[in-house]
Amino acid sequence: MSRKSKSFSQLYDYLTRDKSSHTFSRNTYSNSKNKKEFVNEFYENSRHLREARGKVFMYHEVLSLEANELSLERQKEILLDMAEKYLLQRAEHHLSFGVIHEEKNNMHLHLMISANKIEGEKRVRLSKKEFSQIQQRLENYKNQKYKELNQSSLYQDKKDLSKEKQNEQELKNRGARSVKDEIKENLRATFSKATSSTYIENHLKTLGYEIYTRGKTQGVRYKNKNYRFKTLGLESEYQQLVKKLERIQEREIRRQKVKEERSYSRER
């Protein structure tokens, strides 16, 4: 559901109408509980969009589980995991805000997603085919990982509906998975959650990785072998992340400076 107005505040209020609901965000630095700062972050990001008639500023999307007998906590775990997988494919570099609504027999999760990437000038629009492919992959993921839920085929092509076909494809994917694929997935997951350089360094260290720099070449060292970001196809993403973290740090310094100036004025 696209929105052609900057109604971030209105959608935020709708999503958080139940104050006890579980919330999460991606690619943001503001506390989602602080409505003014958090909504303003979405608003400021939308200002980077080029002027165009009838342009979209955000998307309101919903992930839902069919009726089941699982506990509310288990359903939350599944929805949060599904949301993470969805956003990595749907809007990896966009501002995203999610809220779980616990309605009886209809546990679901609302998402507010910026139309542009972080400080991007262009609105990112998925074609029907691309969106359909994401739905298919997410449903396959759910069917494979969460056996306690009913096996569904709402988004599959008829030729791919059989359980045997899905299992066959899953085995094929597992066999084709390389060390580079695993490294790339781990790095992307870390980059998507990063809020500081310290977080990146510490989190990667727990996974056995260490970032290295040799001249203009950057990458990670894993099991005594170097993997360049360029070779992994992550050079551009890493550079964008570095710039993003620098901006976050600059904003935090400015925010702290304003806070100190206000405090000094009150003391005087």
% of the chain beyond a pLDDT of 90: 21
- 243 versus 163: which is more confidently predicted? 243
Looking at every residue in the chain, the average pLDDT score rounds to 83
Integer Cα distance of 50 and 121 in angstroms: 5
Integer Cα distance of 23 and 7 in angstroms: 19
Residue 159: is its pLDDT beyond 60?
no
164 Cα distance to chain centroid: 31
Residue-wise burial string across 185-217, b where 16 or more C-beta atoms lie within 10 A, e elsewhere: ebbbebbbebeeeeebeebbeeeebebeeeeee
Residue 169: is its pLDDT beyond 80?
no
Residue 221: is its pLDDT beyond 50?
yes
Specify the pLDDT at position 191: 84
| CB atoms near residue 178 (< 10 Å) | 8
Mean pLDDT of 195-217: 85
* Whole-prediction pTM: 0.57
CA atoms within 13 A on the CB side of 64: 9
Residue 89: is its pLDDT beyond 60?
yes
Q: 188 is written with which tokens?
A: 């992307």
Domains, the chain, in order of start with CATH, read: 1-125 (3.30.930.30), 127-176 (no CATH), 180-267 (no CATH)
Residue 161: is its pLDDT beyond 50?
no
Integer Cα distance of 188 and 93 in angstroms: 11
